[in-house]
Amino acid sequence: MKKETSPASIPDLSKNALTVLEKRYLRRDVKGKSLETPADMFRRVAETIAAPDAVFDKKADLKSLADTFYDMMTSFEFLPNSPTLMNAGRELGQLSACFVLPVGDSMEEIFDAVKYTALIHKSGGGTGFSFSRLRPANDVVSSTTGISSGPLSFMRVFDMATETIKQGGTRRGANMGILRIDHPDVMNFIMCKADQKHLNNFNISVGLTEKFMQAVENDEEYDLLNPRDGKQCGTLNARKVFQRIVKQAWENGEPGIIFLDRLNRDNPTPHIGEIESTNPCGEQPLLPYESCNLGSLNLGKFVKDGSIDWKKMKETVVNAVHFLDNVIEANNYPLQQIHDMTHANRKIGLGVMGWADMLILLGIPYSSPEAVKLGKKVMKFINEEGHLASQELAKKRGSFPNYKGSIFDKKGATPMRNATVTTIAPTGTISIIANSSSGVEPLFAVSYIRTVMDKNVMVEVNPYFEQVAKERGFYSEELMKKIAEHGTVADIPEIPLDVRNVFVTAHDITPNDHIQMQSAFQLYTDNAVSKTVNFPNTATIEDVENAYMLAYQTGCKGVTIYRDGSRDEQVLSTSKKE
Ligand code: UDP
């Protein structure tokens, strides 16, 4: 017997969630009419992801497992990344959000990568690339005795391909482009998005090395290397280059930076290859041809009567790891190489959303030392329980095939089913579906206008704020409007001070607070943490430099900043700016 399939059978489904699901996630006929309800969609996903259990256990109770998965999703305690919700049990069947593709230094390899990108974008995935292997512009090309175009001109080809595909009606293609700091074209790369006209389908990050960071600290020159032959072909002053990166980021948020040596220090399978790139939003370092499927616990759902329900969280982690490992089996990969690499490492990325909600429910201000301490505790718990769950799965299903030679392969060590278990994703869309705050971000605003998916505009009041306002008797339409105009509650006297202290937003807290929180979660995350460090429009270049340095000093794997109003288009803005 199937469960009820009317939308009403998911009591917590918000209006915004329904809009998002109807627009892009539900099966539709050729005329665009929905062929399923949200409940049908979750049932479709639950059944498809439960099915692989039969491969490992002939007697597996698939029905009961599907019910567990269904309940976990429809209570919004856990959601997988968007492609799993969209594609599980459907013709496309591509379930991962994150891919990294190699870009080799030949026409064949470059245009193979363009084609692979097209296939991935069509299926709703995002792609990351390192362009560091491409010889610089104006270098020799022996086959034609001409000169090379360089990484930047090829990036435009990828950008155009993405623009043209726009993911066939599911979601827009996203790319990450990375160039090593010692690539001869690095200065042009740093400036490549300065005019905000080009490479709009790319996020860009400079790949920094420890060697470079030391040269910055010592104010020294560092070597540029031609990737064609590895030979030194110039030097630059490290501090000046670093300052240029900072200045550009201050101008319009890009480039971000990633710390390559840190990504490789935590590379679980160094014997298989070096990590050169991450996925588009930076949270998932991957080897070439690897893909990863993500999923997030919604932390607000684990607060019961003012305290954290650890038992329930543990159960959900176990089920989520099981779910994500099954996704690898159920997945229909766009390329054989990706199938093989993903099966060999079996990376999964369990993370969180609703962190700000959890803090609000516990009455802890986001920017307090207590919040940082709790962040570490929560993520340590999820990471440890997640690893235990992966070990349990390995007992029944075997280790990931590349286990031998991996960082886990030590004397007396327990097998692991997955080369990585945890990742903190941005949860841009699934947090709308779950009606939660996104990732580990503070609230963007207590009331705001959200532009999603091709300019669908939604006005929202934070649901927890609305509830508190009603309970404490200071709710009024007029006040909500005032807050919407203001964006923050920090200086609205009608609101009790303790409420104002807890409902802090991204702009009420300092960049340091943002980075301390990112670093707290990074400490117990196998992969990386997606986080934007927000600055007020009035921030100085030096403020941004200090934040980049702090991210480096506090063990972050990368950092992305955004100064309010510094880009022509913003995804999120308070209604004041509209
Ligand atoms: N992503 C993408 N296109 C998008 C949004 C996301 O390709 O429009 C990919 C990208 O790799 C990103 C990852 O999905 O890093 C996770 O993003 P998010 O958590 O926001 O996705 P959600 O599951 O909430 O849709």
Examine residue 366 and state whether it is found in any structural domain, yes or no. no
**Distance (Å) from CA 125 to ligand 1 centroid:** 8
Which residues are within 8 A (CB) of 365 and not within 5 positions of it... i.e. 6 or more apart? 359, 371, 501, 502, 504
DSSP codes joined into one string, 12-26: T--HHHHHHIIIIIS
pLDDT band at 181 (very low <50, low <70, confident <90, very high): very high
Residue 456 predicted with pLDDT over 70? no
Strand partners, 187: none
Stretch 311-320: mean pLDDT, rounded?
98
Residue nearest to atom 20 of ligand 1 (CA): 428
DSSP codes joined into one string, 262-330: HHHHT-S-TTT----EE-TTSS-EE-TT-EEEEEEEEGGGGEETTEE-HHHHHHHHHHHHHHHHHHHHH
- Residue 493 domain boundaries: 437-577
Q: Give the model's pLDDT for residue 158.
A: 97
DSSP codes joined into one string, 171-211: ----EEEEEETTSTTHHHHHHTTTTSSS-TTEEEEEEE-HH
Stretch 357-371: mean pLDDT, rounded?
97
Residue 574 predicted with pLDDT over 60? no
Q: What is the largest CA-CA distance in the chain?
A: 78
Residue 331 predicted with pLDDT over 80? yes
Report the distance separating Cα 276 and Cα 424, nearest Å. 19
Residue 192 predicted with pLDDT over 90? yes
Strand partners, 237: 221
**Distance (Å) from CA 48 to ligand 1 centroid:** 21
Q: Out of 43-47, 519-523, 563-567, which region has the weakest mean confidence (pLDDT)? A: 563-567
Pocket residue to mutate for ligand 1, from 101, 178, 281, most atoms within 8 A of Cβ: 281
Q: Give the model's pLDDT for residue 168.
A: 60
**CATH number of the domain within which 186 lies:** 3.20.70.20
DSSP 8-state assignment for residue 2: P
Average pLDDT, rounded, for the chain: 92
Write the pLDDT tens digit of every residue in 391-411: 999 999 999 999 999 999 998
Write the pLDDT tens digit of every residue in 501-545: 999 998 899 999 999 999 999 999 999 999 999 999 999 999 999
Token pair recorded at residue 543: 């403020």
Domain stop point among 252, 278, 304: 278
Examine residue 413 and state whether it is found in any structural domain, yes or no. no
- The percentage of residues in the chain with a pLDDT greater than 90, rounded to a whole number, is 81
DSSP codes joined into one string, 100-166: EE---SSHHHHHHHHHHHHHHHHTT-EEEEE-TTSPPTT-EETTTTEE---HHHHHHHHHHHHHHHG
Q: Give the model's pLDDT for residue 478.
A: 83
Radius of gyration of the chain (CA): 23
Burial group, residue 422, by CB count within 10 angstroms (0-12, 13-18, 19+): buried
Report the distance separating Cα 558 and Cα 293, nearest Å. 20
Which residues are within 8 A (CB) of 176 and not within 5 positions of it... i.e. 6 or more apart? 126, 127, 128, 129, 202, 203, 204, 205, 277, 278, 279, 280, 281, 282
Total number of domains in the chain? 2
Domain stop point among 278, 311, 335: 278
Examine residue 195 and state whether it is found in any structural domain, yes or no. yes
Residue nearest to atom 12 of ligand 1 (CA): 281
pLDDT band at 60 (very low <50, low <70, confident <90, very high): very high
Judge if the beta carbon of residue 79 lies within 6 A of ligand 1: no
**Distance (Å) from CA 64 to ligand 1 centroid:** 30
- The percentage of residues in the chain with a pLDDT greater than 70, rounded to a whole number, is 94
Report the distance separating Cα 433 and Cα 448, nearest Å. 17
Return the top range by mean pLDDT from 88-92, 129-133, 167-171, 196-200: 129-133
Examine residue 431 and state whether it is found in any structural domain, yes or no. no
Residue 5 predicted with pLDDT over 50? no
Examine residue 31 and state whether it is found in any structural domain, yes or no. no
Cβ atoms of residues 365 and 502 within 8 Å: yes
Report the distance separating Cα 370 and Cα 386, nearest Å. 24
Q: Give the model's pLDDT for residue 200.
A: 93
φ, ψ at 59 (rounded to 5°): -95, 10
Residue 48 predicted with pLDDT over 60? yes
Judge if the beta carbon of residue 378 lies within 6 A of ligand 1: no
Cβ atoms of residues 116 and 335 within 8 Å: yes
Residue 32 predicted with pLDDT over 90? no
Q: Give the model's pLDDT for residue 4.
A: 44
Judge if the beta carbon of residue 429 lies within 6 A of ligand 1: yes
Q: Give the model's pLDDT for residue 569.
A: 65
Report the distance separating Cα 465 and Cα 360, nearest Å. 9
Domain stop point among 263, 278, 293: 278
Examine residue 313 and state whether it is found in any structural domain, yes or no. no
ipTM of the complex: 0.94
The residues assigned a catalytic role are 279, 281, 283
Judge if the beta carbon of residue 84 lies within 6 A of ligand 1: no
Judge if the beta carbon of residue 81 lies within 6 A of ligand 1: yes
